[in-house]
Chain A
Amino acid sequence: MSIDVVLQVLVGGILVGGLYALVAFGLSLIYGVVRILNFAHGTILAVTGVAASLIFARWQLSPVLIFILLVPSVFLLGAVFYRGLLHPLERRSPLEATIGTVLVTVGALLILSDVTAVLAGPTQRNIMLRSPVIEVGNIVISVTQLAILAAIVVMTLVIHAILKATWFGLAVRAVTQEPIAAELCGARSLQVKTLTFGVGSATVAIAAVLYVLTFPVDPYMGFGLTVKAFTIIVVGGIGNLPGALIVGVLLGVAEGLVGLFWGPEWSPAISVILLLLILVAFPAGIRWRRG
């Protein structure tokens, strides 16, 4: 097999993996702070993606405007979802609260998918912009793909900077590490959790707009993405954004190479196999060396 073919697959894998990592950032943030596994996380991408493609089809708005329109809306919806449906469960016993959050998030997944399918139809949709392509030998990369890759890198740096250098980031890290001490030091736990749920949802909305620029979305594709995001945060480490980016890219490349050498029908199984292998080989989790 020619090296060009492998390189083409690597480029595609990096792009897909970067998008997976963006999805995982939000899930990681939410789990790190609120301690809720949001099963509807991937579905937020699917629904936002469908909304973005509908807006584009109806008004031909630029993706940047769609981004400006949708990201704050999803932030608000995420915050309201947490305050209205998930936060009240914290008053229950830990077991009831855990079961309750699973039921609420899985229920949200089903309802969001079905309602979107009824309103917008179950078919796949995307915003396929015909941009110029750069051909290096036999490798083809579109300008849109390059822009998406750049946006993923910028988003990773921005989120990393927010977490490291702002009061919100400090509060998030404090609540993640020691919620009671954080509250005693002035970080209002409920507000931080609500903001974090909103930011986590907004992150996946950003991923959604970037995703529909290259790949189609449909209302029922969300759970598969959530599983990939789970894999990334388990392997990359909760709250470890650079780790999530590396693992996301590795997952995307692994899917591409499996598709190339084994068959694309096996690619979707890779994340689950990877997750199981990591859980068996490293039951205490992988420790990423710092510094």
Chain B
Amino acid sequence: MKRFKHMPQFLTWLTGITAAIATVGFAVSTPANAKIGSCTEPIVFGTTISESGPFSTLTSNWRKMTEIFAEEINKEGGIKLASCGGKSVPLKFAIYDDQSVPATAVQLYERMASVDQVDFFVGPDWSSLGGPVPPIAERHGIPIVMGNVATPSLYQRGYKWVWGTPAPAVPRWSERYFDMLTHVQPKPQTIFFLTHDNPVMKAITAFWSRKAAAQGLKVVGEETFSADLKDFTALIAKVRGAKPDIVYLSSFDNPSVPLVQQLRQLKVHAMDVHHTMLTGALAKQVGNDLEGMTGELTWFPSVKGPYADLFDRVMQRTGITMFDSIWTLARLDSYIVMIQAIEKAGSVDREKVQKALYKGTFKSPAGDIVFDEHGFPDTGAFTIQMQNGKVQVIWPPDVATAKPMWPSPTWQ
């Protein structure tokens, strides 16, 4: 018992220190939000970024990018409010790491609503987080514009405060690629879908396999694989057996690394192998194996839509490129859409901003974002191909930087 005799005193100290840390932490971390009618306090956007955990590979430098975005907006004066006689109010972010974990994201958005009392929500990303987070926005009546949450069904739950800017949206994900397939010669006849077991990737396959069949392509196989799978021999043996003209990989980039390598190793032949996430991260991991493959890119800086210069500047200052981080556009879109909605409402009144967002049309570098009645956008993507180690936009022809190499010589 002797060794425990100082325990009560120790516990008292421990409790005191914990309480002091909590108080200081609370005081330091609570952002000052804009009160309705205030024309001096900053408007606070609360957001989480997957800085750790499995999705962290997709968000490299996003915290810095978000801070630079706020700097750039504030450099130009901030967010214009008609209720302040056209005066601009600075933008501020409250940023937390959701660790790629849905439960953590839910806790953090609850905290931002109740403790930090942010004005509006932007983000999160990924369908697994975009499912559980919106109920918090609904409960608190805070407009939320999510980023890369592309599963349409997540928006069809009768919410009134929820929007999203995924780019591309599932129903338009490979729209331009399938359009290209109707124009190329020789024309492909068969397609095989390999799908990463993830809600958004499965939604892409479900949508585009129907579209492919409607377009006259024969779907000769559909297989799903888990993110942990390392040995793809069985799947690839099936692909080889089916001899498809097109192999369509619907997958996040990281889980498909061994798949792409083993497709090459096991000498799969096709007119084209298409990847829904042909990214710089994937290119760094598999190198030349990506040569000749096609994919999607949501935007590239030579398409000079509205805010293109702002986005380009933010990305350059952050040190990221669209190809390295293809999810960046949807993230930045969520910020710019919320800013436009506030300016359209002319106030930080959440109900007015909600009305501005409902079925609204907003400007983005890749074209207009038009929300349907569920808060889902209609954004598309450009078709790209890796040619001699460089990314080239190959479809649609009016913005293409190179012609499609068809059939892809590296898969012959």
A interface residue numbers (CB < 8 A to B): 1-2, 4-6, 8-9, 11-13, 16, 121-126, 128, 133, 135, 138, 140, 142, 215-216, 221, 224, 255-257, 259-260, 263-265, 267-268
Contacts and interface: CB of A to CB of B under 8 A. Distances in A.
Interface stretch (B89-97, B118-126, B230-238, B306-314): B230-238
Nearest to B260: A128
Nearest to B267: A140
A4 B226 contact: no
B189 interface: no
A124 B285 contact: yes
Given A2-B241, A121-B57, A265-B226, A13 B285 contact: no
Contacts of B241: 1-2, 4-5
B254 A124 contact: yes
Interface of B: 53-54, 56-57, 197, 223-226, 228-238, 240-241, 254, 257-258, 261, 265-267, 281, 285-287, 289
B298 to A, nearest CB: 21
Given A124-B254, A264-B224, 9 more contacts: A5-B241, A8-B236, A122-B54, A122-B57, A123-B285, A140-B266, A215-B230, A264-B225, A267-B231
Given A1-B241, A123-B57, A142-B265, A13 B233 contact: yes
Nearest to A255: B231
B56 A259 contact: no
Nearest to A53: B285
Contacts of B254: 123-124
Nearest to A217: B230
Contacts of A216: 230, 257-258, 261, 285
A121 B287 CA distance: 18
Contacts of B57: 121-123
Among B54, B56, B226, B286, the one with the most A-chain Cβ atoms within 10 Å of its Cβ is B226
Contacts of B54: 122
A1 B239 CA distance: 12
Given A122-B54, A140-B267, A264-B232, A8 B257 contact: no
A241 to B, nearest CB: 23
A264 B223 contact: yes
25 contacts: A4-B241, A5-B240, A5-B241, A8-B236, A9-B234, A122-B56, A123-B257, A124-B257, A124-B258, A124-B285, A133-B267, A135-B267, A140-B266, A140-B267, A216-B285, A221-B228, A255-B231, A256-B233, A257-B234, A260-B237, A264-B225, A264-B226, A265-B229, A267-B231, A268-B229
B236 to A, nearest CB: 8
Nearest to B281: A123
B197 A8 contact: no
Contacts of A4: 237, 241
B412 to A, nearest CB: 15
A259 B257 contact: no
A251 B183 CA distance: 47
Contacts of B228: 221, 224, 268
B240 A138 contact: yes
A265 B267 CA distance: 23
A9 B261 contact: no
A18 B56 CA distance: 33
Contacts of A1: 241
A289 to B, nearest CB: 32
Nearest to A263: B224
B224 A265 contact: yes
A122 B56 CA distance: 8
A8 B237 contact: yes
A285 to B, nearest CB: 28
B261 A8 contact: no
A264 B258 contact: no
A11 B233 CA distance: 9
A221 B54 CA distance: 12
A121 B56 CA distance: 9
B266 A259 contact: no
Given A122-B54, A122-B56, A125-B285, A264 B267 contact: no
Contacts of A126: 257-258, 261
A89 to B, nearest CB: 21
Contact of B234 (A12, A125, A128): A12
A9 B237 contact: yes
A138 B243 CA distance: 12
Contacts of A255: 231
A128 B258 CA distance: 10
Contacts of B289: 128
B235 A264 contact: yes
A27 B57 CA distance: 32
Contacts of B266: 8, 140
B237 A5 contact: yes
A121 B284 CA distance: 13
A104 B296 CA distance: 46
B238 A12 contact: no
Contacts of A123: 57, 254, 257, 281, 285
Contacts of B230: 215-216, 221
B261 A128 contact: yes
A21 B240 CA distance: 29
A6 B233 CA distance: 10
A5 B228 CA distance: 23
B99 to A, nearest CB: 12
A264 B56 contact: no
A133 B231 CA distance: 17
Nearest to A142: B265
A9 B237 CA distance: 7
A120 to B, nearest CB: 12
A259 to B, nearest CB: 3
A93 B232 CA distance: 47
A12 B238 CA distance: 13
B231 to A, nearest CB: 5
A264 B257 contact: no
B285 A265 contact: no
Given A1-B241, A5-B238, A122-B56, A265 B225 contact: yes
A13 B234 CA distance: 9
A264 B240 contact: no
A5 B285 CA distance: 28
Contact of B231 (A12, A121, A135): A12
Contacts of B240: 5, 8, 138
A215 B266 CA distance: 13
